[in-house]
């Protein structure tokens, strides 16, 4: 694998906008990024024998991303996760984001950052393979206040992918960005069951949800529940239990309140191992929350890479972010971004083998 950065066409939207794919390569890792949705389209890493495989679910062509808004690998904004009833108040003014998940707004509402074409602002070289994508979200877009200038940088180092977000607004607003990669460490070409992946999450508490997946009550201790992942556990070990929160989410689809809250620098949040391939992924982040999703709503109706129908258990998501519905919960870490201030979010995905 030759280190470097390359660009190529990836198709054209019905609007006539061209979409590119940027390939980043370094020792042992390759990442492919689309300008559509600032999407991580592929992530290729070795197993214990050195065999390379793409570990992300997604699509082989642009049509797949256009026809199905599945968030595969996309940059999520302006607000990742859910806002109850699509409504929040900021400085005495009410704002409305169009609901797209029952009564609630999910991942930016009806049309989020994942459906926009981003601009390639900068790329690196063989010594420093990276791409920076930018876009300007106008005041009122999706119901959010303020003109927001946002960037996301994907950078490869040996055995590591860094994703770094920055944003600035010309007036007070809310911001919560993340990447929504669907991982299968066994490989995406012919996914094996991720229920045999072993996971650890560094969190003493999590947020129980109501029937609409909105947090209810306070952070709750994981001790004595299927949500206790402080020690490594198979993802599928307790998915069939009748715990009311497992039943409500059809599995794991909950925010973990990471130990230490908002951090000055990325710290270890989660570690996942696949014993069959030997691949290990560690997630390091400076965010206070981590949404762990066990792929519960993959139901075989969407065909992804290689024409394969994606089904429950084919992937998991680890989404570092602020807590869900934070704009309506003053007791949660704030999503407020004032004019002239800079939002920053930095996460590292580190790969090794066992």
State the catalytic residues.
Answer: 180, 319
Q: Are strands 178-179 and 173-174 parallel, antiparallel or unpaired?
A: unpaired
| Ordered DSSP codes for 211-266 | TTS-B-SS-EE-TTSTT--SS-EETTTTTTS--HHHHHHTS-EEEEEETTSS-SS-
Q: Is 305 helix (H, G, I), strand (E, B) or coil?
A: helix
Q: Are strands 128-137 and 119-125 parallel, antiparallel or unpaired?
A: antiparallel
CB–CB of 54/44 below 8 Å? yes
Residue 127 burial (CB count, 10 A): 8
Tokens of 312: 């429950």
> Under 8 Å CB-to-CB from 280, ≥6 apart: which residues?
185, 271, 272, 273, 274, 351, 352, 353, 354
| Ordered DSSP codes for 22-89 | EEEEETTEEEEEETBTTEEEEEEEE-TTS-EEE-B---SSHHHHHH----TT-EE-SB-SEEGGGEEE
Distance CA 148, CA 169 (A): 4
Q: Is 342 helix (H, G, I), strand (E, B) or coil?
A: strand
Strand order in the sheet with 289-293: 220-221, 203-207, 253-258, 289-293, 317-321
Please tell me what DSSP assigns to residue 209. B
């Amino acid at each position: 694998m030759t280190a470097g950065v390359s660009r190529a066409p990836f198709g054209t939207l019905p609007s006539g906008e061209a979409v590119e794919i940027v390939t980043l390569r370094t020792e042992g890792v390759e990442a492919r990024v689309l300008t559509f949705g600032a999407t991580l389209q592929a992530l290729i890493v070795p197993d214990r024998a050195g065999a390379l495989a793409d570990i992300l679910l997604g699509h082989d062509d642009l049509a797949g991303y256009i026809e199905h808004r599945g968030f595969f690998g996309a940059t999520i904004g302006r607000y990742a996760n859910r806002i109850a009833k699509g409504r929040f108040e900021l400085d005495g003014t009410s704002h409305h984001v169009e609901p797209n998940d029952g009564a609630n707004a999910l991942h930016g509402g009806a049309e989020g950052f994942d459906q926009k074409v981003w601009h390639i602002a900068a790329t690196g070289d063989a010594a420093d393979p990276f791409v920076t994508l930018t876009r300007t979200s106008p005041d009122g877009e999706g119901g959010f206040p303020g003109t927001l200038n946002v960037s996301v940088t994907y950078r490869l180092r040996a055995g590591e992918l860094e994703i770094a977000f920055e944003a600035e607004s010309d007036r007070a607003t809310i911001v919560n960005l993340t990447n929504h990669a669907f991982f299968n460490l066994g490989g995406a070409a012919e996914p094996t069951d991720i229920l045999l992946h072993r996971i650890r999450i560094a969190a003493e508490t999590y947020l129980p949800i109501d029937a609409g997946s909105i947090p209810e009550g306070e952070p709750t201790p994981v001790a004595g529940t299927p949500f206790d992942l402080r020690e490594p556990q198979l993802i599928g070990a307790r998915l069939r239990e009748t715990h009311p929160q497992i039943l409500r989410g059809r599995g794991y689809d909950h925010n973990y309140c990471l130990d230490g809250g908002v951090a000055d620098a990325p710290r270890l949040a989660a570690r996942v191992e696949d014993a069959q391939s030997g691949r290990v992924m560690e997630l390091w982040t400076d965010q206070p929350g981590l949404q762990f999703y066990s792929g519960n709503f993959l139901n075989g109706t969407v065909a992804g890479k290689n024409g394969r129908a994606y089904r429950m258990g084919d992937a998991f998501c680890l989404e570092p972010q602020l807590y869900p519905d934070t704009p309506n919960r003053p007791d949660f870490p704030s999503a407020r971004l004032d004019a002239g201030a800079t939002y920053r979010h930095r996460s590292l995905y580190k790969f090794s083998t066992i």
